[in-house]
Structure formats: structure tokens, C-alpha cells
């Protein structure tokens, strides 16, 4: 099986109110791209801080030269974040989704209901389907669930429940393949908007797909 050619990523965060608690980050190391989504509980300041602690934990692991292609690396990072959050006494809970994408494979882990889906050839697959929606990271009892999938094309979309809970998968699928990846994430982030124009929840999402057709 030939590996994928180069791929592209795009991400967007759209807060429902003034200051949201969804956080998204894309990191690269060598051939690997690491996608992170964290949705701070209660859309609160403490939730936002917990979400930011996940981003820091992932960044620190990448900087420290951790093996980004092993799902255990990310499970350990989330377990550590969970314990540190409790030990700090600062409170705040969050979901966490970490996915490492290479040209052949996607591996990762999740806590809570931030999900990662693969859209390919009219099919949609939830890589995070076995996740535990509770307890959240920061509770001291988070149970990260790892996932692994051979990736041979199609669009990976990681997002908070602000997208997946409010928008039909078929509507999401119609937007993930828009020619311009940045236009795609903006269009996706607008899908949950109510008739009033308000968002029912913060939306944080990250999209990753091959930048050229697979030969
Ligand atoms: Mn949410």
C-alpha cells in the first residue's frame, strides 16, 4: 500500500459567547501532524484553563521528543494532565482529543465527547466511538481510550460536541471536501447556528486531508 501524498490541515474555533472554552491546536514534528481538541466544561474560565493545560501537555510531549506515533504516548499525557489538574487544586474539567496523523496511519486518544471522524467515499467512521464521555479530564478519574486506524485517504475531522451534537453527519460530510480547506472549516463551524444566528455551544474543529488525489 502506497503511503498518502502530502496532506493539509485547517482549524477553527467559534465561541458561542464572548469567551469560549473550546481550544484547538495543530502541531507538526517531522512527517507527523498532531491534532488537538479540548472542550472546557461549562464553557467556564476554569474549563478553558483545563483545556489549555491539555494543549500544553501535548506541546511539552512533542518538545520533549516523545514518540508521537504511539497512542500510549498520548494516553500517558492525558493521564498526567488529569492528575496534575487535581493536584494543582485549580479545578476545571475538559474533554481531550489528541490524534497523530502520518501518511499511513492515525493514532490517538480521547476523553469526553470531543470526537474524531473519518469521511471517505460516502462512508463515515467514528475513530473515537469507544470513548468514555465521563468522567472528564480534571476529575482525577478520566479514562482515556486509544484508537488506531490505517489511513489511506479521506477527510479526518476532529471537533467538539458543539458540532457533532447539533449537526447531522450527512450535512457535515457535504462540507468536508470543499476545495479550500479553510473555507471548509469556516462553513462547518457555521452549521450549528440557530435561526437566531446564535450558536448553541462553542465549536472547535480541525480538519486534515490529503492535499492531492491519491494515485
Ligand atoms: Mn461543548
Residue 88 forms part of a structural domain:
yes
- Rounded Cα distance, 27 and 43, in Å: 24
The residue ranking higher by pLDDT, 203 or 5, is 203
Cβ-contact 109, 75 below 8 angstroms: yes
Query: What's the average model confidence in pLDDT over 2-30?
Result: 88
CA of 8 relative to ligand 1 center, distance in Å: 25
Number of helices (H), then strands (E), in the chain:
5, 10
Residue 184 forms part of a structural domain:
yes
Q: What's the whole-model pTM score?
A: 0.95
CA of 111 relative to ligand 1 center, distance in Å: 13
What CATH number does residue 138 fall under?
A: 3.60.40.10
Query: What's the average model confidence in pLDDT over 40-55?
Result: 94
> What pLDDT does residue 153 have?
87
Q: What is the DSSP string of 28-51?
A: EETTEEEEEEEEBGGG-HHHHHHH
CA of 164 relative to ligand 1 center, distance in Å: 9
Residue 193: domain span: 7-210
Q: How confident is the model over 147-186, as pLDDT tens digits?
A: 999 998 899 999 999 999 999 999 999 999 999 999 999 9
CA of 39 relative to ligand 1 center, distance in Å: 6
CA of 204 relative to ligand 1 center, distance in Å: 8
Residue 215 forms part of a structural domain:
no
Query: Which of the four pLDDT bands, split at 50, 70 and 90, describes residue 213?
Result: low
Query: Which of the four pLDDT bands, split at 50, 70 and 90, describes residue 214?
Result: very low
Residue 189 forms part of a structural domain:
yes
CA of 53 relative to ligand 1 center, distance in Å: 17
- Kindly list the protein residues that place their beta carbon closer than 5 angstroms to ligand 1, a single-atom ion: 39, 160-162, 201
Specify the number of domains making up the chain.
1
CA of 65 relative to ligand 1 center, distance in Å: 31
CA of 95 relative to ligand 1 center, distance in Å: 9
CA of 48 relative to ligand 1 center, distance in Å: 11
Residue 93 forms part of a structural domain:
yes
The residue ranking higher by pLDDT, 48 or 210, is 48
Residue 169 forms part of a structural domain:
yes
Task: Specify whether the backbone of 142 is left (phi greater than 0), alpha (psi in -120 to 50) or beta.
Answer: beta
CB atoms within 10 A of CB 111: 32
Q: Kindly give, in sequence order, each residue whose CB lies less than 8 Å from that of residue 176, ignoring residues fewer than 6 positions away.
A: 119, 155, 157, 184, 188, 207, 209
CA of 131 relative to ligand 1 center, distance in Å: 16
CA of 140 relative to ligand 1 center, distance in Å: 20
CA of 6 relative to ligand 1 center, distance in Å: 31
CA of 33 relative to ligand 1 center, distance in Å: 24
Query: Which of the four pLDDT bands, split at 50, 70 and 90, describes residue 5?
Result: low
Residue 54 forms part of a structural domain:
yes
CA of 75 relative to ligand 1 center, distance in Å: 21
Residue 2 forms part of a structural domain:
no
Amino acid at each position: 500500500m502506497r503511503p498518502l501524498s502530502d496532506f493539509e490541515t485547517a482549524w477553527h474555533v467559534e465561541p458561542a459567547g464572548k469567551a469560549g472554552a473550546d481550544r484547538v491546536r495543530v502541531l507538526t514534528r517531522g512527517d507527523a501532524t498532531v491534532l488537538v481538541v479540548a472542550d472546557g466544561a461549562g464553557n467556564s474560565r476554569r474549563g478553558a484553563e483545563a483545556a489549555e493545560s491539555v494543549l500544553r501537555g501535548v506541546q511539552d510531549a512533542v518538545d520533549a521528543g516523545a514518540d508521537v506515533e504511539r497512542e500510549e504516548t498520548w494516553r500517558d499525557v492525558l493521564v498526567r494532565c488529569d492528575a496534575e489538574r487535581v493536584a494543582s487544586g485549580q479545578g476545571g474539567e475538559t474533554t481531550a482529543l489528541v490524534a497523530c496523523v502520518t501518511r499511513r496511519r492515525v493514532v490517538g486518544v480521547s476523553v469526553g465527547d470531543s470526537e474524531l471522524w473519518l469521511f471517505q467515499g460516502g462512508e463515515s467512521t467514528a475513530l473515537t466511538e469507544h470513548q468514555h464521555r465521563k468522567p472528564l479530564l480534571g476529575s482525577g478519574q478520566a479514562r482515556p481510550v486509544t484508537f488506531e486506524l490505517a489511513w489511506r485517504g479521506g477527510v479526518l475531522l476532529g471537533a467538539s460536541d458543539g458540532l457533532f451534537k447539533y449537526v447531522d453527519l450527512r450535512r457535515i460530510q457535504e462540507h468536508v471536501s470543499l476545495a479550500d480547506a479553510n473555507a471548509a472549516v469556516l462553513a462547518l463551524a457555521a452549521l450549528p447556528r440557530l435561526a437566531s444566528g446564535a450558536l448553541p455551544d462553542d465549536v472547535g474543529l480541525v480538519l486534515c486531508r490529503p492535499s492531492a488525489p491519491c494515485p
